[in-house]
Amino acid sequence: MTSEFPEAVVGTAGHIDHGKSTLIAALTGVDPDRLAEEKRRGMTIDLGFGHLRLPSGREVGLVDVPGHARFIRNMLAGVHGLDAVILVVAADEGVRPQTREHLEIVDLLEVRRGVVALTKIDLVDAEWLDLVTSEVASALKDTSLAGARIVPVSSLERRGLDELTAALDAVLAEAEPRPDVGRPRLPIDRAFTMSGFGTVVTGTLVDGSLAVGQELEVVPRGRVVRVRGLQQHNRKVEVARPGSRVAVNIAGAEKHEVERGDVLAPRGSLPATRRVDARVRVLPHSARPLRHGAELTLHTGTVEVGARAIVLEGDAIAAGAEGWVQLYLERPTAAAAGDRFVLRVPSPSLTLAGGRFADVAPRKHPRHDAAVRASLERRAAGNVLQEELRKYPRGVTVAALLKATLSAEADAGALDARRSGDWIWATEHWKALGEKANAELATYHAAHPLRAGMAREELRSRTGIPAAAFAAALGALVEDGVMVERGTEVALPTHEAALEDGDGSAGRLIEQLARNPFAPPSLAEAIEKSGASTEVVRALERRGDVVRLSDDVAFTRDAYEKAVALVEEMVAASGSVTVAQLRDRMGASRRPVLALLEHLDAERVTRRVGDARVLR
Ligand SMILES: Nc1nc2c(ncn2[C@@H]2O[C@H](COP(=O)(O)OP(=O)(O)O)[C@@H](O)[C@H]2O)c(=O)[nH]1
Ligand SMILES: [Mg+2]
């Protein structure tokens, strides 16, 4: 059973002790601080969760984050996949350091919807409230939450709660529905054991649905698990939809074999990477730029991983500026193009920059290269698949291409590309390949005018087409009219194997054979007398000017045609023909007649019946 109402995930943000957890408890009736240590210290340490039905009926999963600067990494694991944020500011204290830091993170992760809960209004007078309200409004300026509604609240006195949920309903009504691209991913934020059930993991599901019974992989560990059960908002469901908080009961992994930062995804669907290309924006108030070579901490989804930044242009990206970087990750990390991330300086701990991944399987790039940046720009503008395809001048399988970009089969249809069987080439590369094949064949024909064409394998090695792609490429090159197949060889469509060898040996060979057409000299003798090379003989055979009946017997075209006509005529007259009868009519010796009839048997013109031949 899935909810009949739209769903959403909302998180808190704000300075410690400003009333985030108390507000969630007041809204849901459940204290989100679940750890014993949190209860003892009266402070949120890790993420807390709850759920709420808004006045519109919308089901909202809630993520309560810690405000303390020391637990910012837990906060970062909580903000992925949010539809909206409740920024909590205590009216008595106003904007404090983590108010700003959380706001920066929300801004870098492009969470565009939110409301401000101005809490503890029971502690201040109206005049002060006005002051704080304008202070908050100006803090929001130039962030993704600019202009967000500021709702005065007292959780203790339960004032303003209805206004807050109504405001939340209003911003969520404007949010686009979560995309379902059929590639579910669940970045895990919690893993625990439930007695009687086994291992349970939770997270915010994105990009696709999960179903009970499905086989999944824990990325990047590679462990394969099965979905035993699914829950949303404490209710069992058969299918969980993207854009909701989900608890997954998994079979096949112990609690210690999955942890925050891992991602659940269908087996083989989500690659892990150690290198990504990304567009980054450095915080406007950052005290330092993002320097080339900087050792940073990357937060994406629920994972935190060390990263070294290669600045692709210039030596640094200044505060407030944007640029392209390649990030080298400390260990394999599940990531997809378009995912958002935050970069922090590990020590002293501070937020530096954030952005989106453009390419999660990039090559190493030369720095200061305009072509690299242009390709990244096109990717960022949405041409992900086309740019990915450009990486493979020698072609790529469609399956590998789709997997690398987490794209669906349908997306491949719109590509500017040549597809043949399982393989695909960007149009520009396909053209270049055709030109290369053309040039190689032209050179070859010029060097070997007597040969019908080039051996396929030779074409393959000269063009550098991967062996696995060769059959598909060859078929498409023939289909495109770049070349033709001639037996086991390939040639330009315009190529005619030349006969003239310069010394007239071809003519002399024909002459030798034609002198006594039905009783020619042995082929070896004719070759020797005419001085024809093997190539000349082969060329004559190919053209049909000489018909080879056996190793040693060859007729001219004319003699062959006459002999066949004679056989047909004799069979028509008396039903069959024997070697002796034909020999008498042809006035030849037994050797060429036998060779002729055996050749005709092999060509399936005649069939042997006892001593005689009949027509098939
Ligand atoms: N007077 C008053 N105190 C509040 C209100 N909301 C929270 N508090 C108190 O503020 C303290 C910190 O609250 P908490 O929810 O833990 O803050 P958090 O760190 O933002 O989660 C607690 O002692 C709460 O009882 C409120 O609306 N009015
Ligand atoms: Mg708290």
pLDDT in tens, 67-104: 888 888 888 988 888 999 999 999 999 999 999 999 99
Q: Residue range 41-46: average pLDDT?
A: 87
CA of 436 relative to ligand 1 center, distance in Å: 72
Residues of the chain with pLDDT > 70, as a percent, come to 98
Strand 484-486 to 322-334 pairing: unpaired
Cα–Cα nearest to 592, from 545, 547, 549: 549
Compute how many other C-beta atoms are within 10 angstroms of the C-beta atom of residue 194.
Answer: 11
Residue 197 has pLDDT above 90, yes or no: no
CA of 86 relative to ligand 2 center, distance in Å: 13
Q: Of 118-132, 177-191, 542-556, where does the model show the most confidence?
A: 118-132
CA of 136 relative to ligand 1 center, distance in Å: 18
User: Cα separation of 596 and 519, whole Å?
Assistant: 11
| Ligand 1 mutation pick, 18, 22, 98, max ligand atoms within 8 A of CB | 22
CA of 14 relative to ligand 2 center, distance in Å: 9
User: Cα separation of 108 and 13, whole Å?
Assistant: 14
Give the H/E segment covering residue 303: strand 303-311
Residue 6 has pLDDT above 80, yes or no: no
116 or 377, higher pLDDT: 116
| Ligand 1 mutation pick, 12, 15, 16, 17, max ligand atoms within 8 A of CB | 17
390-404 confidence digits (pLDDT tens):
989 999 999 888 877
Closest residue to atom 14 of ligand 1, CA basis: 19
Find the residues whose C-beta lies inside 6 A of ligand 1: 14, 16-22, 44, 67, 88, 119-120, 122-123, 154-156
Give the 3-state secondary structure percentages of the chain, helix then strand then coil, rounded to 5.
Answer: 35, 30, 35
Q: What's the whole-number average pLDDT of the chain?
A: 91
User: Cα separation of 86 and 70, whole Å?
Assistant: 21
The gap from C-alpha 595 to its chain's centroid, in whole angstroms, comes to 61
Cα–Cα nearest to 424, from 400, 458, 408: 400
Q: Residue range 236-259: average pLDDT?
A: 93
Is 0.85 topped by the overall pTM? Answer: no
First to last CA, the chain: 71
CA distances from 443 to 25, 447, 453, 463, 475 (A): 80, 6, 11, 13, 21
Query: What pLDDT was estimated at residue 1?
Result: 39
Q: Residue range 109-128: average pLDDT?
A: 96
The conformational region for residue 2 under phi > 0 = left, psi -120 to 50 = alpha, else beta, is beta
Q: By the 8 A CB rule, do 459 and 490 touch?
A: yes
User: Cα separation of 349 and 73, whole Å?
Assistant: 10
2 pLDDT tier (thresholds 50, 70, 90): very low
